[in-house]
Amino acid sequence: MNSFKSRFYPGKRKKWLIFQEQAMIQFGRLSMVVMLLTLLRVFKHQDIFLFALVGFALALVAGNLMAVVSMRRQIAEVFFLQEHFAVLSVWEVLFSKETKTFPLELSNFSREENAASFHYFDRIIVLKAGDWEAFDLICSHLSYRPQI
């Protein structure tokens, strides 16, 4: 089995710390929008307390939901097992114990200069060269076609 980890791989850090790091990035963006809208309400001489309180609460919830989506989309690991391979997102590395493998012959691999794309079950995965130390090695594994 050959395993390759991206720069997004969580390592041995605590699960909820990684999750909250992702959530805070999203919360920061959303809270900036709430602050700007609150400032507009100040200029219009409207009540801001309830608006800001509800806005920041919604930004916190939306930030956590967006973190889940982001962690499910970021590819953390690709591993190869004989004539099959598996792709794991950050979410799957942290919280999931089940891994499904996919046959290499069905991957429909294609490579551009700094990116590679392939099929994995019902998704099309795009790997960027900057996110992977062993990008060329991953591409050579994905382009392998077993002898029949």
Q: What is the pLDDT of residue 83?
A: 85
The residue out of 72, 90, 110 marking a domain boundary is 72
If asked whether residues 47 and 92 sit together in one domain, one would say no
Q: What is the pLDDT of residue 148?
A: 57
How far is the C-alpha of 96 from the C-alpha of 139, rounded, in Å?
A: 26
If asked whether residues 43 and 19 sit together in one domain, one would say yes
Whether the per-residue pLDDT at 126 is higher than 60: the answer is yes
| Helical ranges in 74-134 per DSSP H | 90-95
Question: Would 148 be classed as within a structural domain?
Answer: no
Q: What is the pLDDT of residue 68?
A: 92
If asked whether residues 66 and 80 sit together in one domain, one would say no
Q: Which domain holds residue 112?
A: 76-143
Q: What is the pLDDT of residue 49?
A: 95
Q: Count structural domains, the chain.
A: 2
- Tens of pLDDT along 47-93? 999 999 999 999 999 999 999 999 999 999 998 888 889 999 988 88
User: Which residue, among 21, 8, 97, has the nearest Cα to 66 in the 3D structure?
Assistant: 21
Question: Would 6 be classed as within a structural domain?
Answer: no
Q: What is the pLDDT of residue 147?
A: 60
Question: Would 103 be classed as within a structural domain?
Answer: yes
